[in-house]
Chain A
Amino acid sequence: MEPRAEPDGPEVLRMESVRKTFPGVVALDSVNFDLRAGEVHVLLGENGAGKSTLIKMLSGAHRPDSGRIVVDGTPVRLKGAQDAERLGIATIYQEFNLVPELSVAENIFLGRPPRRFGLIDRRRMETDAARLCERVGVTVDPRARIRDLGIARRQMVEIAKALSLNARVLIMDEPTAVLTTDEVGRLFRIVRALREDGVAIVFITHHLEEIAAIGDRVTVLRDGRSVTQVPAGTDQDELVRLMVGRSIEQQYPREPVDAGEPLLSVAGLTRDGSFHDVGFEVRAGEVVGLAGLVGAGRTEVVRAVFGADPYDAGTVTVLGQPLPRHDVGAALAAGIGLVPEDRKAQGLLLDASVQENLGLVTLRRATRAGLVDRAGQREAAARIATRLAVRMAGLDQHVRTLSGGNQQKVVIGKWLLADSKVLILDEPTRGIDVGAKVEIYHLINELTASGHAVLMVSSDLPEVLGMSDRVLVMAHGRIAGELSAQEATQDAVMALAVKGDDVAKGTHMEDSGGQ
């Protein structure tokens, strides 16, 4: 369990002064990273620090603009997943690369099933799959379909698949984010066994306590640069300081104002299997944070409040007026706006212009007798784009080519144009660079100062603590507790977030994962 001394296995992989830019962003710059056989090397960094780009480079999805990648002492060019596979590099992404309709065995040997007389040798495929599953310590029928498995077991299948490729380097992107405590323990046992076998493992996690438990060395990324490399036993506060690079007070410029009348009241909100008896209030001028682990039901609740999804029981009231359930139009008319979790998939028309995106919510309002007042729309879009300081070449620029922060400003902007009283922000700064983050925090201050209310869902705990006037903590689909800004500390929130884990014995996640 205790971190081992400096790993002494041979070096299998090294990145030297790697640089990678995307339109508008320098994702990585002079990044150095090395990996030895038989070690667990933790990549640590904030969202947007460049961890994903780094591992995508190792798996062949991106190529560096400059710098080089060295495998076994030889510089290589990874042009695609096949190249990485050939070198024994396997990656397990957060969103798994499994085909839900196919069986466990078919997924493990996807694209390279064992053959006999030109036909697929089903029996051999299934025995091989069973052997691999056994090695990763999961009991699963190789003929079971992936869609019928819970998240933890899907992850094990991914690992089995990586082993079947004889992977010498295994990259795991936040593997514990979706697991219960028990499952994390099981995963760690497998990771340690692989380490003993000499596999080099790149491990990404946001849970600092896991670093000491599983890691050997830590490389810290910040704003696309590799800041330093430290042993996994490093003190947690020190890790945070390295990761953030500044004190938290400066990063979250919250200026509280006196709370006014309740704008949004939710009572007894329930959807079977997702959330239960959720009730809270958001007042004018307030920022209410909604914290909790991934899968606690936070996004489900705010989407139901907004009318995007149905619910079974409970009420949603805006300014004293009850809202009909599952009716986005009514929520919008009552003054609620939702900035969704996944801005690209749910918030933006990527191949439409900035103007088009900004005017989307107000399109109906700008229509007279079926005709849209395009000039008025443009004028309004120009006004809000200036106010939010959206960095763009012009209103006609396609949103796809904006940086993440500017894209998010556009999503927020369309709700500002619609004059929403209550703004629900779901992961408002995910994948956004630090500068744009602070701009969004200032915008939140501006909104609450003018009497708007903000309900913010975020997995970024420092953000929740730094920006909220009150923090609601959800666990297993229920509000586990409420903390004032003074009471809310990392420990207090985490204590509430894992509440009920012992009771649930870790089975809850498995259930919901199988839905």
Chain B
Amino acid sequence: MASNTVKNPDARGAEAHGAVPVARLLLDNGALTALVVLVAAMSLLSTDFLTTQNLLNVGVQAAVTAILAFGVTFVIVAAGIDLSVGSVAALCATVLAWTATSHGLPVWLAVLLAVATGIACGAASGALIAFGKLPPFIATLAMLSIARGLSLVISQGSPIDLPDPVSSLGDTLGGWLPVPVLVMLVMGLLTAGVLNRTYVGRVMYAIGGNEEAARLSGIQVRRQKLVVYALSGAFAAVAGIVLASRLSSAQPQAAVGYELDAIAAVVIGGASLAGGVGKASGTLIGALILATLRNGLNLLEVSSFWQQVVIGAVIALAVLLDTARRRAGAGPAASNAASGAPGVGHRWWSGAPLRLGVAAVVVAAVVLGAVLRGSGSSGSDTKVGLSLSTLNNPFFVELKKGAQEEAEAAGVRLNVTDAQNDASQQANQVQNFTSQGVGSIIVNPVDSDAAGPAVKGANKSGIPVVAADRGVNNADVGTLVVSDNIAGGRLAAKELARQLDGRGTILVLQGTAGTSAARERGKGFADGLAAYPGITVVGKQPADFDRAKSLDVTTNLLQAHPDVTGVFAANDEMALGAAKALGSKAGTSVKVIGFDGTPDGLKAVQDGTLAATIAQQPRELGKLAVRNAIKLAKGDPTRRTVKVPVKVVAAGSR
């Protein structure tokens, strides 16, 4: 990236002192220092980190955030903010897949439409800001919601496969250079070019620096703002396409919260939220810092909960480092400039102890992270990786416990990661396991389609994979360990009908759209209910397997249907939310049936607020997954599918 005119003023002083160029570069750029320190620390802590393959992985894992962040750089330099980029990326990917796969448009046209969608979204935000005088925060917050909603509407809540030519974007070039990395670098160069060389780029600095001065200098501020946000939308579209190509499918729920990562990357890279300052190279470094951290902490087997703490701390420290640098630079540079005698009284090193101090804290954070790593030390050298879809749900926490118990009993090292319901983070984690060379990998997919490419990567490296709780599509899985969801759905229908004596009106709370568990449980329940014509479903809404959402959704549905007699929720969390909404009616005039048999759910059944739950055995599931993974790692034969039985737990039945 070419040098920028918004240069650090203390560069001159360093020259005068004849500092080594590399050292000067580091001292002048807090973010770069942080990245170098981070890479050095990770290399020392993990032998798997500093390999070509893993560094390329880091590049791939940084790509989507980086591309989004390049677009956001424009906006932030122009003193705005764009919260919509994650949603817009998801919308553009959905548009691409929908037009190409569902409507058979040629791929080039579909890609064009996707990018046009991104530009349109950006321009819409821009128009609201420039002409509607909405604060950027509000306008793009609105767009965040609109774009996410539209992508769900278009996809009807389910992931859509990508046509092959686009999926190959997620592959490698010449067998080693991943296309996402290439796209990231090209977009980075493009960003640098736009910022430094073009009219619109220079105008961004002017508007961000002083909007009124820019206006009084003849710049058409409003029109230019529109362009800035449209550019951000276009970059979001590219990011969306790269994201979808990595997962081979367009996920309507992809890239949730990515706007915050993008903003963090831009700010870590030295941009000011007040506007007027920022550059492409900084943003790239910011995105790489985030990706390096996630990758390194995975490799170090740091507990996924602590990972978030460490990442937050490093974001704060990286920006602190940069702020400290600027402060240290500003004072002397100013007096120097004023005295007109370069070099006199110029102390570029004045902030060095501070910098070293902060760098030390970064290292400390990493070391702390390393100390907190998962309990996996044992004599065995068999290593198993487990990528869980989420730990935000007791079911998966139980599954994890079962897995850990089994691993401990067998004397195997188990590295557990948490994808936080983000398919692309899961792909990163599986990729990291693969490059670490674990004996076998257990995937509990966020999404069956999206897990495909990453599992395929493991297949290619000859690492066997176990799928737990949900299947993986388009890739080889040694063993699938699942609860029988369809059978469970049928059981739920039967039990509810029994308790209602075959008559009544009921609500159905569906799981997260697009997940196989939601589909299968819903299907099994519908199948089972067909035998009872006396029962009508009067309301059916997704509540995303989430207790709080279910509370809201149920409360709303009850407004329309106050006299329902039964509720089927596709998991216990939603059932408990529904029971909360029903209040004293739960367990008396309204029968609520859940699914999973979590500790909370089972307790509620005992207490009588839930009529029944279809108990899965998550611990058992976790144990069986690890048992099979160990077998596969050793090359022992396993069954293709292991079904973990489910059973009805109703009040008094235990």
Contacts and interface: CB of A to CB of B under 8 A. Distances in A.
Given A328-B215, A396-B5, A414-B217, A352 B209 contact: yes
- Range class of the B interface residue count: 35 or more
Contact of A397 (B9, B206, B215): B9
A238 B220 CA distance: 51
A401 B214 contact: no
Interface in A1-57: 23-25
A329 interface: yes
Interface stretch (B330-338, B402-410, B478-486, B627-635): B330-338
Given A23-B335, A370-B199, A393-B337, A353 B215 contact: no
B216 interface: yes
A24 to B, nearest CB: 3
A115 interface: no
B527 interface: no
A400 B220 CA distance: 24
Interface in A302-323: 306, 308
B338 A352 contact: no
A363 B202 contact: yes
Contact of A392 (B206, B217, B337): B337
B336 A393 contact: yes
B213 A349 contact: yes
B197 A349 contact: no
A360 interface: yes
Interface in B332-384: 333-338, 340, 342
B205 interface: yes
Central interface residue in B196, B202, B218, B334, by most chain A CB within 10 Å: B218
A308 B214 CA distance: 11
A351 B276 contact: yes
Contact of B277 (A338, A347, A351): A351
A329 B223 CA distance: 13
Contacts of B213: 340, 345-349, 360
Nearest to A377: B202
A372 B203 CA distance: 11
Central interface residue in B199, B202, B213, B340, by most chain A CB within 10 Å: B213
Contact of B337 (A360, A401, A414): A401
- Range class of the A interface residue count: 35 or more
Contacts of B198: 367, 370-372
Given A363-B203, A372-B197, A374-B196, A352 B215 contact: no
B505 to A, nearest CB: 50
Contact of A308 (B197, B210, B216): B216
A275 B213 CA distance: 24
Contacts of B215: 308, 328
Contacts of B276: 349, 351-352
A372 B199 contact: yes
Contacts of B217: 360-361, 363, 414
Contact of A352 (B5, B200, B201): B5
A355 interface: yes
B639 interface: no
A397 B5 contact: no
B218 to A, nearest CB: 4
A396 B197 CA distance: 16
B338 A346 contact: no
A125 interface: no
A360 B214 contact: yes
Contact of A348 (B201, B210, B342): B210
Contact of A346 (B205, B206, B212): B212
Contacts of B197: 371-372, 374
B5 A403 contact: no
A469 interface: no
A356 B5 contact: yes
A433 to B, nearest CB: 13
A394 B338 CA distance: 11
A471 interface: no
B493 to A, nearest CB: 57
Contacts of B216: 306, 308, 328, 338, 340, 346-347
Contacts of A350: 209-210
A349 B209 contact: yes
Interface in A179-211: none
A360 B216 CA distance: 10
Contacts of A374: 196-197
B103 interface: no
Central interface residue in B9, B217, B219, by most chain A CB within 10 Å: B217
A188 B206 CA distance: 45
A83 to B, nearest CB: 23
A6 B411 CA distance: 96
Interface string B1-38: 00001110100100000000000000000000000000
A332 interface: yes
A351 B220 contact: no
Contacts of B7: 353, 396
A370 B200 contact: yes
A135 B215 CA distance: 46
Nearest to A345: B212
A23 B338 contact: yes
Contacts of B6: 351-353, 356
Contacts of B196: 374
Interface in A338-391: 338, 340, 345-353, 355-356, 360-361, 363-364, 367, 370-372, 374, 391
B9 A401 contact: yes
Interface string B67-79: 0000000000000
Contacts of B337: 23-24, 392-393, 397, 401-402
A361 B218 contact: yes
A223 B511 CA distance: 76
Contacts of A402: 337-338
A398 interface: yes
Central interface residue in A352, A356, A372, A397, by most chain B CB within 10 Å: A352
B24 to A, nearest CB: 16
B5 to A, nearest CB: 5
A371 B213 CA distance: 22
Contacts of B12: 393-394
A349 B205 contact: yes
A321 to B, nearest CB: 17
Nearest to B197: A371
A393 B202 contact: no
A392 B335 CA distance: 11
Contacts of B9: 396-398, 401
Central interface residue in B5, B205, B206, B336, by most chain A CB within 10 Å: B5
Nearest to A374: B197
A398 B338 CA distance: 11
Nearest to B198: A370
Central interface residue in A25, A329, A360, by most chain B CB within 10 Å: A360
A24 B338 CA distance: 4
Contacts of A329: 218, 220
B13 to A, nearest CB: 10
A356 B214 CA distance: 11
B286 to A, nearest CB: 20
Nearest to A344: B210
A51 to B, nearest CB: 22
Interface string B548-559: 000000000000
B125 to A, nearest CB: 22
A367 B218 contact: no
A372 B195 CA distance: 10
A398 B334 CA distance: 9
Given A329-B220, A372-B197, 10 more contacts: A23-B335, A308-B215, A345-B212, A352-B276, A364-B218, A364-B219, A370-B198, A370-B200, A393-B336, A414-B217
10 contacts: A349-B210, A350-B209, A353-B6, A355-B5, A363-B217, A370-B198, A372-B197, A374-B196, A393-B340, A403-B338
Interface of B: 5-7, 9, 12, 196-203, 205-206, 209-210, 212-220, 276-277, 333-338, 340, 342
Top 3 A-B pairs ranked by shortest CB distance?
A349-B209, A24-B338, A23-B334
